[in-house]
Structure 1
């Protein structure tokens, strides 16, 4: 019996995958090149591969220039084309790919179709490009092994988008999911590992808008000048991510703790995030963590920094006065919304 080929929408936002070496020697985006290259490769147009429509964004971005505004543009693009396609692939630069994958998961929380973010370390036109396998497999998985959530595909693994983080600047194994198994491993076989968050469905997903809120990230280190920290905490912030030691500990420096407490009392949502790649925040384990809980900080649990930042942006973008939004965000930060943390 004839079965229609799946049709996947590719949102090409920029990144190394579509770049070429310029006359000056650096890599630069080449408008129009990527689709021509894909159409010339027979493996992308085989009958056992899905059809694809590639939408090249008018301005191709280096991912270092990504912002919450761009996350909104990508989410709106997916929603505008949601009914027409079986799945979506977002081509993106690697530097902030995990931020965008995390943001999309919170902005489109009840997806019924796959959205896979991918890219490459070497341009598609170059010898030994990893972009070929990454894009081919992303298209194949979106069509024939669809997960109703946002994923990030790189180096033979489909990771949950809001569990992914960049761990290697130059290797093909650029991304990992330290506190969560991958959704799929792709080798000789396509091996499902982690169940998808929800069942596939065709209903239009709800959109959670995001705005660029005043969120700061403060990393603790030995010998820190706490007067600088106090100055930051006196600013008109909406949120703060405190990068702490170990299981969520900080120096018990009285002036610093007092400044943190005053910030929380001003409805700044302060989140305790460990600097460790693996493991979880536990503010009940040591005095240094207890003190932060007493100041009003909430736990990032075992979220990546990318998920913590984007989740905070999305929550702080919800309507309401600052006090009520802050109270809601504090409650929601410690709860799993779309698989981003371990209960």
Structure 2
């Protein structure tokens, strides 16, 4: 029986079920401390509401906000007695030189599993609205993960929502032979607002990355971790802004944290992690519509374009009574242009069960199966 001086004891059958489930315990990372590098590229999640300009990205504001929230930073006496515990080594690339720096670390309180998460924030300068994201920024993110790969157990990328699915898709191909968790997240409402989705999104991403090894690029939003290259933004105003129409979530967060382990990608060979940094920006997306002209199609297929994603109807169909369009596609394919066929539908895949789909296959167009336009590009 506890005395008034003892700390209160809370009993929850749901919590007891979670922490005693052997399947959960076996899937946890082995250490009682997880080091995470949080790469803050910009986006709504860390913005400050100013009276003059509204929401603005302010350097250092995200770190200050998180440090004042006990769920994101609660150092104990041991941390205070050993100041080194409140710093992490972080590698930073300056021009062609990699420099090791010491960055302040935030320490989360122990989880239900007894795990603590220590993370440092690598804040980009300038902070980017995701609408301004380019392939060069994808390369920078991949590089920062590569040069810090041995220093951290997992990586979280804070990113604006508008192009998050594009970045997640790109990184899934750029980061080869991943052995660690990489998660992109953000929010529709900034962390500093009283009512927001930022707390749940960031806390969920940190919890998953801090406890489970899911060695692929994921996107966490609305209590679900999706495979990054299967996601699309589906809503500009709702907190459930992302979906993965053709693949169920890898992780669902509720009272339990349910990981769909059969769906998680695992390395099939022993290979050293590496990142690919050579990108080709000479690509384009062409959405078919009734009455599209030959001139429009040929313009999209003209040099210096090297690859085109065509978004077609239904299960990958395009007019097969338009020899002018088919001829333009065949000529481009014959000269080496890569043309990928994706459906305009949110769910489903490209097949050749219809004659209008077979026509594209016959002129050299590559079926995109159930790939999203974001991953195809």
TM-score range, shorter chain: 0.7 to 0.9
Distance across 1 between alignment mates of 2:222 and 2:207: 14
CA RMSD of aligned residues (A): 1.8
Residues matched between the structures, number: 307
* Structure 2: runs of 5 or more not aligned: 1-29, 74-108
The structure whose Rg is larger is 2
**C-alpha spacing 1:193/1:3, structure 2 compared with 1 (3 Å):** closer
Alignment of 1:41-80 (within 5 A): 41-45=69-73, 46-48=109-111, 49-80=116-147
**C-alpha displacement of 1:226:** 2.7
Secondary structure in 1 matching 2:252: strand
Secondary structure in 2 matching 1:44: coil
Secondary structure in 1 matching 2:141: helix
Counterpart pick for 2:342 among 267, 273, 277: 273
Partner residue of 1:124?
Answer: 191
* Structure 1: runs of 5 or more not aligned: 310-343
Distance across 1 between alignment mates of 2:311 and 2:261: 29
Counterpart pick for 2:312 among 229, 244, 269: 244
Distance across 1 between alignment mates of 2:142 and 2:120: 17
TM-score, with structure 2 as normaliser: 0.78
Distance across 2 between alignment mates of 1:226 and 1:201: 46
TM-score, with structure 1 as normaliser: 0.86
| Residues 75-97 of structure 1: per-residue CA shift (max 9 Å, x gap) | 00001111011100000000000
**C-alpha displacement of 1:160:** 0.6
Partner residue of 2:10?
Answer: none
Distance across 2 between alignment mates of 1:58 and 1:204: 30
Contact 2:177 2:267 in 1 (8 A): no
| Residues 86-141 of structure 1: per-residue CA shift (max 9 Å, x gap) | 10000000000011111111001210000010000000001211111111110110
**C-alpha displacement of 1:201:** 11
Counterpart pick for 1:99 among 162, 166, 179: 166
Partner residue of 1:231?
Answer: 299
Counterpart pick for 2:364 among 292, 296, 300: 296
**C-alpha displacement of 1:58:** 1.4
Distance across 1 between alignment mates of 2:184 and 2:269: 20
Alignment of 1:177-196 (within 5 A): 177-195=244-262, 196=264
